[in-house]
Amino acid sequence: MHNILEVRHLSAGFSARKSEVKAVDDVSLLVPEGKIVGIVGESGCGKSMTARAVMGLIRYPGRVISGSVLLDGRELVGMPEKEKRALRGSKMSMIFQEPMTSLNPVMKVGRQVEEAIRIHEKVSREEAAHRSVEILTSVGVPEAEKRCLCYPHQLSGGLRQRVMIAMAMILDPRLLIADEPTTALDVTVEAQILQLMRTLSSGGTGILLISHDLGVIAQVCDHVYVMYAGRIVESAETAELFDRPLHPYTRGLLNSVRSLRGGGDVLDTIPGVVPNLMRMPAGCGFSPRCLECREECVRDVPRLVDEGDGHLIRCFLYEGEAAE
């Protein structure tokens, strides 16, 4: 199958006083045509940074350190900004985690959606206005015509997020990156947005859906990458991952969701927090929290190995020698 997005050995981070800290460390991932691919992981594990690195939108002082990002076979790393700008919006677009920072506060939302259309397509004002109302309605904005006349601050957080989603989807991009697109929304709106993503992907768009919510991932993703402390620690088809989670971190994530849903009184959560970038463990990033941690886990970083049928896992429990 054709891969719309191919990320190879991507590292990105920040320059610190003495050294460089990596927020994204050797990440490789694929988004095939017409598929929804998920990245899941706790806060601070590098999901947004990965998304911004793909879009070429990392904010200073961050930067892409190494690796390759291919969009429909074209290399984006090192591409002149002008060319990348032409691709953003038309070929690839992103729904940002913080909608307020990506909307213009002094322009009515209708105008902003219209402009998003008119930057890339030659259509009249009337046509653009008509399409804006149409797409805003389709993402669940009630009385869209009226809302078009509002400024962003006059809308609720949920509505602003829907405006962002409309703007990202309006041009039917090849690649859509959605960074926590439904986190601020209630469940009925969330269901609508996820349905829109399915529709978009069935038309061929490749979607990279970022979420800390395994429930959202399970509902729509074909394939999942689990990220921890900047690295991919596990990757598999969605059904396979949920049936046979291998990494202690993935198992912990699933357990915490399952015990929440099951209504049990003891929450089986993972103790500890994601490590600070400045104090990353030398070995596996998860080792300080891992109940199955061994000597080598603290010392070395495990490789990402294929456990069969493309189920990838980065853990010494599954590396041949260590398992002996």
Ligand X SMILES: Nc1ncnc2c1ncn2[C@@H]1O[C@H](COP(=O)(O)OP(=O)(O)OP(=O)(O)O)[C@@H](O)[C@H]1O
Peptide bond into 152 cis (omega under 30): no
Residues in binding contact with ligand X, number by CB under 6 A: 14
CA-to-CA distance for 318 and 67, rounded, in angstroms? 26
Using rule CB under 6 A, residue 44 touches ligand X: yes
Candidate segments 1-9, 40-48, 216-224, 258-266, binder of ligand X by CB under 6 A: 40-48
Q: In what order do the strands lie in the sheet with 74-75?
A: 20-32, 3-15, 62-71, 74-75
Using rule CB under 5 A, residue 182 touches Mg ion: no
What DSSP string runs through 218-244? HHH-SEEEEEETTEEEEEEEHHHHHHS
- Which of 108, 111, 212, 294 binds ligand X (CB under 6 A)? It is 212
Shortest gap between Cβ of 284 and ligand X (angstroms)? 17
Tell me how many helices (H) and strands (E) the chain has: 13, 12
Judged by beta carbon distances under 5 to 8 A according to partner kind, the member of Mg ion, ligand X, none in contact with residue 23 is: ligand X
Q: Name the nearest CA neighbour of 5 among 53, 46, 62.
A: 53
Candidate segments 41-49, 106-114, 240-248, 257-265, binder of ligand X by CB under 6 A: 41-49
CA-to-CA distance for 277 and 309, rounded, in angstroms? 33
Q: Which is nearer to ligand X, 23 or 71 (CB)?
A: 23
CA-to-CA distance for 238 and 220, rounded, in angstroms? 9
Helix or strand (DSSP H, E) at 7:
strand 3-15
Unique residue bearing structure tokens 């677009």:
93
Question: CB under 8 Å to 298, separation ≥6 — which residues?
Answer: 281, 282, 283, 284, 287
- Which of 48, 132, 201, 219 binds Mg ion (CB under 5 A)? It is 48
Using rule CB under 6 A, residue 183 touches ligand X: no
Residues in binding contact with Mg ion, number by CB under 5 A: 3
Using rule CB under 6 A, residue 63 touches ligand X: no
- Which of 4, 31, 45, 94 binds ligand X (CB under 6 A)? It is 45
CA-to-CA distance for 105 and 225, rounded, in angstroms? 35
Using rule CB under 6 A, residue 22 touches ligand X: no
Pairing, β 175-179 against β 92-95? parallel
Using rule CB under 6 A, residue 226 touches ligand X: no
Candidate segments 23-31, 46-54, 71-79, 185-193, binder of Mg ion by CB under 5 A: 46-54
Q: Which is nearer to ligand X, 46 or 152 (CB)?
A: 46
Using rule CB under 6 A, residue 100 touches ligand X: no
Judged by beta carbon distances under 5 to 8 A according to partner kind, the member of Mg ion, ligand X, none in contact with residue 49 is: ligand X
Per-residue x/- marks for Mg ion, 78-117, CB under 5 A? -------------------x--------------------
Shortest gap between Cβ of 42 and ligand X (angstroms)? 7
End-to-end distance of the chain based on CA atoms, in angstroms?
37
- Residue ranges binding Mg ion (CB under 5 A): 47-48, 97
Judged by the rule CB under 6 A, the positions of this chain that interact with ligand X are 14, 23, 41, 43-49, 62, 97, 212, 277
